[in-house]
Structure 1
Amino acid sequence: MSLGTLLWILTSIMCGVFLYISFKVKDTAQSSFSSYAIGGKNFPLYLILFTQLSTIMGVGNFIGHAGKGYEIGLPWMAFILGEQGSKIIFALFFAGLAGRFKYITFPEMIDDLVVKDKVTRALGGILASMIMIAWVGGQGKAFGNIFNIITGANPIPIILIFSAIFIIYTTLGGIHSVVWTDLVQGILVIIFGGAFYIYAFSPVHWNLAEIGVRLAEVGKGELWTFGGSNKIELVTKFITGCIGILATQAYWQRCFSAKDSKTAKNGMLFSGIVAIIMVMLTALVGMVILTLNQGLKPDDAIPWFMLNYVPVWISAMIFVLILAAGMSSADSSLNSASILIVNDLIKPFKKNVTDNQLVKYAKWLTALIGIFGALAGIYGSSILGLFSKAYAISGGGLVPVLLVGLLWKDRPDEEFEMGKNNSKITPWGSRVGIVVGALLTQITALGPNRVITALVVSTISIIIVSIFTRNSKA
């Protein structure tokens, strides 16, 4: 049996299993908007742990980061430390806080605790959804690359097919579909991920020092050093990855859906520790592949490795790993993006909307966002390029409001409580800060440190505008 045929069989089996799970949970999921969005805040640690891990370990973390390791080498570790290390920061400083509350989105949390302003909430929903749409596009793009290289299929129909699959089973069961399929996917990621790394490092005899020697032999020795790297660019990569994660609804949503604060914190912490190890290993695998073939496009490194270097059964194992990771991130992202738009753009502005209507809106938006995600996958230049751009825009706009809002308290001695605003940020301060931060991250004239500049200017804008609009009505 050819590898291409085997890939289609495995895809059909896994998709069938996930659709079955979604049909089983759809009635519970659609019983209320809270159940559809956060599972009624009842999920135990094992579900939170595996859904966080599965969401983190998307196909970008296997295809995309391997490609960046292939292209950039060790300097890419700065982005990984920011992107993946921020999950540990999130767990230590934010997950426990989120787990105390029953919010549905983190823009809703900002609106309730920091600044009572529907416009800020809507802007937050728009920016946060960008990351989720980029994630959906990245998963589809990666599957398109794999099938194109291995089977010769046109990647565009492949992206559309997978996007349709993501849409169907996420629409049916909301967050319930996501967490239960993630349980299966997370177990597969752990089992097949471990086996994959053991095999992938065999060309260098499981010796990291040998990677540097092999890279030097093929004229790529500079990729095994940080010496020639621009320090500002390294810092910017770290900060871009970090702020993007802090603005990612999927992680906040899991914490809001955890049964308590401790469950939210531990689920995020343990999954973050596993993820940072696995993603750094994946980037190193990209460097190993570079020692074998120097003529590949970065995102084609893993598919080429599957097709040309490993036995069929190992390739099938790698594909199951990537399929599980990609489908998990895609369903999480679709659900999170649709919930963001319903909860933060529709609900605050549509009076007397019913619970059933909110669920219907979420289902329709899941389909619509899936289509936008597919287009992003078709036209995006690279998988990690999609993620990095979305991280910068969303994080640059939202993270300053989040951090300043939580630290600049109106009543410093009081704990945050649902329904009670406790921040000195004003509506105009938050609005200006969000717009300024998001826009500055995209002005290339600011150079490689534009993300840092955006964060600083946004923070200053929030504070100054808030001081001068303290007594103004928004």
Structure 2
Amino acid sequence: MNSTTAWIIAVVFAIVFLSVAWTVRGKAGKNFAAYAVGGATLPLFLVMFTDLSTIMGAGNFVGEATNGFEVGYNQLAFVLGEQGSKIAFALIFAGFAGRFAYKTLGEMMHDLILRDKVSRIIIGILMLSLMIAYIGGQGLGMGLLFHQFTGVNPTYIILFFTALFIAWTYMGGMHAVARVEFLIGMLVVLLGLVYYGSVFSLVHFSPAYLNHRLAAVGASSLTKFKFDPQTITAFVTGLLGVMTAQIYWQRCFAAKNGKTARTGMIIAGSIAVIFVAATAVVGMVAKALNPVLSPSLAMPWLMSHEVPVSITVAVFALVLIAANGAAASNLNSAAVILINDFFKVLSPEMSDRSMLRWAKLMTVVIGAFGALAAMYASNIIALFSEAYTLLGGSVVPVLIVGLLWKMDYSKRFEEGFRNSRVSAWGARVGLVLGAVLAVSVNIFVGFGAAVVATIVVSLFTRGSTTEADRQALGSVPVES
């Protein structure tokens, strides 16, 4: 495939994405809720495919192949943690979140657990780190892919696609994101199967033959799965980090009900586990065929040298549209976090029209930060992993303690009423201490410290629940 074909594909899809965003701009511009969560009306087919498209971006198609090239089967530990967490999220949180009409996880934690503006802002800051990492990962993936086929400096490609991400997210919000991702999700499944089949045919669909080829080039270490502390850390980092990804909570809030949110995420997560694991193995195939290759070019090299041109074109289109879908999802989510958990908290009287206007402006600002992250990151998955560590050691433990440590265990959580013993200071200390220790030591230390600090500090400080809340809780139905 030559550079002209690559640019034609890019331009065609750019026109399609922008056209869809232009078509639904009226719906997205009605109010902030429409822009943020599509009015909480998305049906199963949209929830499922927007979940899948959000998961399967350029990071998973290009970044996982890079790590498979370097790490081998041990990369599957991170894959199973990161992608399996979507299924765990669906079983634990999706149905719960789908009952509510919040716009962000921070808003939900504020209303049901904390009632503390400072904690809500801290949560927003921490969650933004993952959104920006995701956006940067998509830009970096596209930069590496285009560089392989066109020779253009990856920085220019990153800037081009970031501008595209921004434009159609700015116009259409969640309505555009969900509808474009319905198309993207279907193409991911169809073209992904074609690509994996083509690559694995190079090693005769045989793990034994792949292992033999790797041993022949001096890379037999890649064929051994090591159950060691590093492997366990990789699994836990992926598992916990994703639990607080705004993109998945936002899709649950956008679903028409809890069952729709849970079912959509289970299906999407199951497909993702298989596809992302296969992508890591793709990197191992590249290692077997070209052991001196730069790891970051594992997938692009296979596409340009080892598979038929028709497959190359199809998969190039696949990665391009997947990157656009994932980046737009994260742009929208990051903008919603900024407005909902910063602007609105600091300025409670802000009108809905102002929130919508600022959300669009922040889409542009965050996109710029995402481009910077892409240009300065050396590895896509490393970029994700750092953000997962930060969130997994801070927001996740406070969320879990807050939901499990109720004031009244006979009552379920309902909007408008706080039913948790976690205090404002307990949350603040737990969030900050967990984040610092997770990054500076490891995720286990951060998680444990956050749990202990949240409980101990809460025991010695007073929660913000009012007597009115306690009285209102008396009218809430008992959990089934």
Q: Tell me if both proteins adopt one fold, taking TM over 0.5 as the criterion.
A: yes
Secondary structure at the residue paired with 1:39? helix
What is aligned with 1:38?
37
Secondary structure at the residue paired with 2:370? helix
What CA distance in whole angstroms lies between the structure 2 residues aligned with 1:351 and 1:76?
45
Judge conservation of contact 1:3–1:312 (CA < 8 Å) in 2. no
What is aligned with 2:447?
455
What is aligned with 2:264?
267
The offset of 1:472, in angstroms, is: 8.6
Secondary structure at the residue paired with 1:252? helix
1:351 to 348, 353, 357: 348
What CA distance in whole angstroms lies between the structure 1 residues aligned with 2:172 and 2:433?
37
Pairs within 5 Å for 1:167-182: 167-182=166-181
The offset of 1:317, in angstroms, is: 0.8
What is aligned with 2:457?
465
1:87-110 CA distance string (max 9 Å, x none) = 000000100000000000011000
What CA distance in whole angstroms lies between the structure 2 residues aligned with 1:399 and 1:296?
38
Secondary structure at the residue paired with 1:40? helix
The offset of 1:208, in angstroms, is: 1.8
2:247 to 250, 273, 293: 250
What CA distance in whole angstroms lies between the structure 2 residues aligned with 1:298 and 1:344?
39
Pairs within 5 Å for 1:236-247: 236-247=233-244
The offset of 1:29, in angstroms, is: 0.6
1:350-394 CA distance string (max 9 Å, x none) = 032111100011000000000000000000111111111111112
What CA distance in whole angstroms lies between the structure 2 residues aligned with 1:38 and 1:435?
29
2:360 to 359, 363, 374: 363
2:297 to 282, 289, 300: 300
Secondary structure at the residue paired with 1:420? coil
Structure 1 residue 401 corresponds to structure 2 residue 398: yes
What CA distance in whole angstroms lies between the structure 1 residues aligned with 2:370 and 2:55?
18
What is aligned with 1:329?
326
Secondary structure at the residue paired with 1:73? helix
What is aligned with 1:10?
9
What CA distance in whole angstroms lies between the structure 1 residues aligned with 2:21 and 2:145?
26
1:301-342 CA distance string (max 9 Å, x none) = 011111222222211111011011111100000000000010
What CA distance in whole angstroms lies between the structure 1 residues aligned with 2:167 and 2:35?
15
What is aligned with 2:159?
160
Pairs within 5 Å for 1:431-442: 431-442=428-439
What CA distance in whole angstroms lies between the structure 2 residues aligned with 1:235 and 1:172?
42
What CA distance in whole angstroms lies between the structure 1 residues aligned with 2:104 and 2:463?
28
Judge conservation of contact 2:421–2:463 (CA < 8 Å) in 1. no
Judge conservation of contact 2:424–2:464 (CA < 8 Å) in 1. no
What is aligned with 1:63?
62
1:383-430 CA distance string (max 9 Å, x none) = 111111111112221001111111111111111100110111000000
Secondary structure at the residue paired with 1:463? helix
Structure 1 residue 107 corresponds to structure 2 residue 99: no
Judge conservation of contact 1:41–1:102 (CA < 8 Å) in 2. yes
1:416 is aligned with what amino acid?
F
Judge conservation of contact 1:128–1:247 (CA < 8 Å) in 2. yes
What CA distance in whole angstroms lies between the structure 2 residues aligned with 1:213 and 1:437?
44
What is the percentage of aligned positions where both structures have the same residue? 46
The offset of 1:471, in angstroms, is: 6.3
Pairs within 5 Å for 1:173-322: 173-227=172-226, 231-322=228-319
What CA distance in whole angstroms lies between the structure 1 residues aligned with 2:96 and 2:29?
27
What CA distance in whole angstroms lies between the structure 1 residues aligned with 2:310 and 2:464?
66
**Alignment length (residue pairs):** 465
What CA distance in whole angstroms lies between the structure 1 residues aligned with 2:182 and 2:84?
23
1:188-214 CA distance string (max 9 Å, x none) = 101100100110101110112221111
CA RMSD of aligned residues (A): 1.1
What CA distance in whole angstroms lies between the structure 2 residues aligned with 1:202 and 1:466?
58
What is aligned with 2:386?
389
Judge conservation of contact 1:247–1:394 (CA < 8 Å) in 2. yes
TM-score when normalising by structure 2: 0.95
2:140 is aligned with what amino acid?
K
Q: Is there any run of 5+ residues in structure 1 with no aligned partner, and where? A: none
Judge conservation of contact 1:80–1:238 (CA < 8 Å) in 2. yes
The offset of 1:464, in angstroms, is: 0.6
Moved over 4 A (4+): none
1:327 is aligned with what amino acid?
N
Judge conservation of contact 2:6–2:149 (CA < 8 Å) in 1. no
What CA distance in whole angstroms lies between the structure 2 residues aligned with 1:421 and 1:472?
9
Q: Is there any run of 5+ residues in structure 2 with no aligned partner, and where? A: 466-480
Secondary structure at the residue paired with 1:422? coil
TM-score when normalising by structure 1: 0.97
The offset of 1:40, in angstroms, is: 0.8
